[in-house]
Each structure stands twice: as C-alpha cells, then as structure tokens.
Amino acid sequence: MSLGLLLTLLWVAAASVTALLLRGEINQVFDSALQETAERLLPLAVMDIVDREDNAGAQRLAALRERGEYFTYVVRGETGLILLQSHRADPGVFPPYDGPGFRQTQGFRIYNDDALKGTVRISVAEPMSHRATVFWEIVLALGLPLLLVIPIALAVIVFAVRASLAPLRRFRATLAGRGSSDLSAVPADGLPAELKPLAASLNGVLARLKAAFEAERNFASHAAHELRTPLAGAIAQAQRLRGETGEPAAAARAAEIEATLKRLTRLSERLMQLARAEGGRLRLDQPRDLSPAARIVTEDAARGTPEGRVTLRLPAAPVFSDLDPDAFGILLRNLIENALRHGEADGPVAVTLAADGLLTVANDGPVVPPETLSRLTRRFERGGAGNHGSGLGLAIVAAIADRLNSTLILRSPATGRTQGFEVAVRLPAGGGVAADRMAPERGEARGPPQPALTDSGGVFMSGSSTELKYQPAHEELHYINRSGWLRAAVLGANDGIVSVSSLVVGVAAADPTPQAVLIAGFAGLAAGAMSMAAGEYVSVSSQSDIEAADIERERQALLDTPEAEERELAAIYESRGLSPATAALVARELTEKDALGAHVRDELGLSEVHAANPLQAAIASGLTFCAAAALPVLAAVFAPEGRIIPTVVVTTLVALAGLGALGAHAGAAPKIPATLRVLFWGAAAMAITAGVGHIFGVSV
C-alpha cells in the first residue's frame, strides 16, 4: 500500500505540474487570438469610420444570428468617443485607452491597438471565465479517464503482488508456527526462485541441528541404560556389605553408599525418561482411555506411603486421548513423586484427571515464591538446598507438555487454598487426528513456546527451551540469482535516463521554451514507464511460455523414450569431459533421482535461479524507469533560463555514471567497465537526438 500511495502522489505531482504548464499554454493561445482579432478588426473599423458622412454618433453592429460571443470590442476616437462597438459590448468593461498592448481588469483580458496616428483606437475584451471554463474542460477530459484507470491499475498491481507473495507468506507462517523442538524440513513448494536457495539452506541447518539433538538424546539414553546393570550390582554389593559387617561405622558407610547408588539409579532413569520425552513418539494413531493408566500409575506411586495419602479423582466417563500411555505414565509418575518428595511429610496429594483432559496434582506445603516457580522447570533445578531429588522431574513434564503444544501451569498456593503447590497440564483429549503422530520424522511441537507469566502467585509456562547458535560452513557468495530482477531494473533505469534526457535535449534544441521542454519530459516519463513495464511483462511472459513448453516436451520424451533420454544425458556429460563410464554412471544416478530436473538443467540450460518472473520484471523495470527519468525532468525544471541543455546533459551523465556503478555493485561486477559503457551510449544517444532537433527544428 505504501508503494501505491507513493505512485499516486508522484502522479498527482506530475499532473499538477502538467496542468500549470497547460494553463500557461492556453493563456498564450487565447492572447494570440485576442491580438489577432484586434489586428483584423482595426482596418475594417478604420474604413467604416472614414467612409461615414456623419461621425457624431456611435454605431452598434447588429448580430446576424444568436450565438455565443466571447470577444467584444469598442472603437473609440481620439477624444474617447465610441465610434463603433460589437452588439454585446458593455462600454463599462473597457477602461480608458492608455496605449497599445494587453491589459488585465477584474474579470476581463483586454488588448488595445490604434491606427491613423492614434486617432482611431480599438479595444477587444475577453472574459477570463471563458478561459477558466476551457481549461477545466480540458483537464476533466484528460484527467477523468486517468482517475478511473489509475485506481484500477493500482488494484491490479496490489492483487498481482499479493498473489506472487502468497508462497512467501505461507513460508513465514510455517516458520512462525513452529515450536522450539520442531526441526523438520520446511516445505518450500511454490516459493519464488530467489528464495528457494534460502529455504534449502534453512532446511540443511535444521537437518544438522536435528541430527545433533538426536545424537545427544541417544547418547544420554544409552548411557543411562548401560549404567543400570552396574548400578544394580553395586547396590547389591553395598547391601551385602552392610549385612555382613558387624561394625556400626562400616554398616553406616555401606548404607550411605547404597543410598547414593540408588539416587544415581533414579537419576539414570530420569535421564532415560527425559530422552524419551524429548525425542520419542508421544502420540498414537488411535485414542485410548487414560483412566486405567492413571489408576495404575497412582497406585504404584502410592506404595510405601500411608493409606489415603495419595488420592485419585476420575470422571465417570472415559477420558480418551491419543497420548501414548507410556508417556502419560512418565508424566504422571514424575508429578506424583515430585508432590510426595517436596510436600509436607504425610501431607495429602490429590490427583485429578478431568473429562476435558486437564490433569492436576496438588500437595500441601509452604508457599513457593514466584521467582522460584519461574525456574522449577529447568533441568537439575531443585526447590531448595535440602532437597535430594534429581531436579529433572518437572523438566521432563515440561518437555512432554511442550511437545504436546500444551501449557504447564505451576501455582502456589494451590487453587482454593492458602498454601500448597499445584501443577496442571492439559492433555490432548478426544478422538481428533493427532497433528504430530509422526514425531520421530518431523517433531511434535505445533506452536511457539508460551512465555512465563505471573498471575496471582502462579506462573504459566510451556516448558524450557534451549537457544542454539549455528555457525554455518564456508559458502561462496554468488549474485547470479539477482540476474532476473537486476537486468530489468538496470534496463528500466538506463532507458529512463537516456530516453527522457535525450527527448528533453532534442526538444530544447528545437524549441527552448520551458513549457515545451517540461511537457515533453513529463509525457516521455509517463509513456516510457508504461511502455517499459508492459514490454518487460510481455517479453518475459513469452520467455516463460517457451521454457514451460520445452519442459513439457522434455517430460513427454522421458515418458516415451526413457532409455534414449538417458543416453542423451550421458553424451552431454561426456562432451563436458567425463569418461564414458563415468558419464553413464552420473546419467543413471541423476535419472533415478530426478530425471526431468537433470534434463532441464543440463540439456535445456534452465534452472530455478534463471526462471522468468514476468510480474517481477515489469514492476522492477517500470519503477526504476520512473525514478531514473525523473532526474533529467527535475534538472530541466530547475535549470537556469537558457541553460536547459547543458544542465540536463551534465545531470544525465552523472546519473548514468552512478547507475553503471550501482548496477555493477549489485551484481558484484567490475565497476569501471560498466560505468564507461553506460556513459558512452548515453552520451551518444543524447548527441544524436540533440542533432536531430537542431537540424530539423521540430520536437522529436
């Protein structure tokens, strides 16, 4: 919309300048007609007055028929006596005669002239309202069609640009909607050719990050799994040592060793659970009732606690969800064990699974400060210095919630209490299709992680995330992907400067009046911009049609004669220097992977980098033409009187030098040859056009 507004403002400014110049031209034409009328009437009036027998009275010419009369006149003698007047002349309009020439009164333009040594004087008057009427009729006749065409053209341009950018918006929305753990490849279908290398590089980065994360998770999981057997053996040896020794100090030390080994065992189990939560499959193809799993996990976690300390509340109806029961068990067990470990001794722990999938676990205990709540889901974060937990329980729960695109809610005090701690997480309930059931292939998070928010003592969070910085490998910097729009932009700018400056110089050589030069300049700017945009669109569209037709013929040939096409591809590689065996091998492997792409690239010489984009070329060419053509026009506007040609020539040469250097810089090409080339041909075009204008003396 900002581009459309800018173009509209530019058009309004150009139209205003054109209207002012047009008004000046109209005044000159009407002044010339006014003077010519006086010069034609004066001899006739002199003859009429001289042939009279009685010059005492004024005569009024009778009208032959009723008609519109824009010029009125009076003929007066040396004393001011009216001798002759037109039939609608009003003597009060004409001021006293004060010599030949133009006069301006309120509402009238008057031309005076005399004959017979000033004894016969004529004054011709024209109402200024007539000129204003003619001016506005011309402006409306020229402007009304443009007022209709320009909004339609802008609407078409906006629609076309939006349609061409739709794949880019989808690409952006796909990236914005991803969670921190979704490292699958981003679909690049329909992206413009200039952005496909970016998407390919991004997908390469995501693939490397995914491989690194999977390697990290696999290592943690395998290491924890391998530790289970040695740890179990060490615990057994510590228990045996404690049973065999009779010394109290040795028995106490053996008990401490046993407790430490058990904590290490629990830590290895938590590490395996964390790896499962971050990389395993969490969703199933079919929903299942979570109530039996909740009942089994709660009963198992409550073993060794006083009866009734852990309570479970389930709805009457089944709670269906596509969440994997194993993942649900890991989540619920960690919540219950966390509540038992960090709550008051023998304090109740309430587990509730609602029909809508909301799982809550609450215990009694002191209120946890908000600053502590905000960091409890970090890895190896414990609620206090005296806690002996692994510090991974809530981190595992947060990882599962994050991959489920759910929100983990930590509250202290618990809901409806003055103390205690409560954890709530909403599980995917119902029988809907799981959006992330193929998690091992493409990740499971479906949205950006929710930020931590403080609300009435509770902290709302979606789990922790890790920010990684990737240092890309060395890649050479190329600019060939800019050739499509850069060619059209440079061509439009160069043509705008050369053609309009040549037109201005040629017209100035034939008719150096500022009005003629400016009208020619603005007309050349408008016509040239539309011509360049339309020409580029038609030309590049034709190129795109030819490319599409060639690709379709190649596709059909691959269907009809695949063996011959493979031999043709091998011959192409052999002609480029490969041995026959290597050429045949390369042709076979490329044919198996992407036969059409190989033939389009190596036989037809086409690629996505050089793909034709008609709309992009038309917009780039038209806009750069307008911007560049405005330079010589502005130079002509501000040029000193009589110095239009040198001012425009100098401005144009400077602009051409800058354009050549800028185009070379955008394409990372040598600047001096490009600048000299543009300067030479631009100067030649202006010289030839100025010569034509000077020789023939006409506007070209």
The pLDDT, as a whole number, for residue 473 is 39
Closest to 75 measured CA to CA, from 105, 112, 109, 107: 112
pLDDT over 60 at 700, yes or no: no
The pLDDT of 580-588, averaged and rounded, is 83
| Separation between Cα atoms, residue 437 and residue 233, nearest integer Å | 38
Phi-psi region for residue 371, left (φ > 0), alpha (ψ -120 to 50) or beta?
alpha
Question: Residue 23's pLDDT is what?
Answer: 82
Structure confidence by residue, pLDDT tens digits, 592-619 = 878 888 888 887 776 544 455 677 777 7
When pLDDT is averaged across residues 82-99 and rounded to a whole number, the result is 86
DSSP state of 159: H
- Give the tens place of pLDDT for each residue, 286-338: 888 888 988 998 888 888 888 888 899 999 888 888 888 888 888 888 888 88
Ramachandran angles phi, psi of 286, nearest 5°: -125, 140
- The residues spanned by each domain of the chain are 34-140, 200-281, 288-436, 474-699
Model pLDDT, residue 123:
92
Q: What is the pLDDT of residues 448-467, one digit of tens each?
A: 333 333 333 333 433 333 33
* Bridge partners, 60 (sequence order): 85
Q: Pairing state of beta strands 72-76 and 101-105?
A: unpaired
In this model, does residue 538 exceed pLDDT 60?
yes
CA 335 to CA 424: how far, in whole Å? Answer: 10
In percent, the amount of the chain with pLDDT more than 70 equals 74
Give the pTM.
0.36
Q: Of the segments 261-270, 313-322, 535-544, which one has the largest average pLDDT value?
A: 313-322
The pair of three-digit structure tokens given for residue 641, joined into one six-digit string: 């009187």
For residue 278 the two structure tokens come to 């971050």
Q: How far is CA 494 from the centre of its chain?
A: 27
CB atoms near residue 316 (< 10 Å): 6
Q: How much is the pLDDT for 277?
A: 66
Fold of 288-436: Heat Shock Protein 90 (3.30.565)
Residues 271 and 219: their CA atoms lie apart, in Å, by 10
**Are 449 and 405 within 8 A, CB to CB?**
no
Q: Determine contact, residues 512/642, Cβ cutoff 8 Å.
A: yes
CA angle 135, 141, 146 (to 5 degrees): 120
Q: If you ran DSSP here, which 8-state letter would residue 429 be given?
A: B
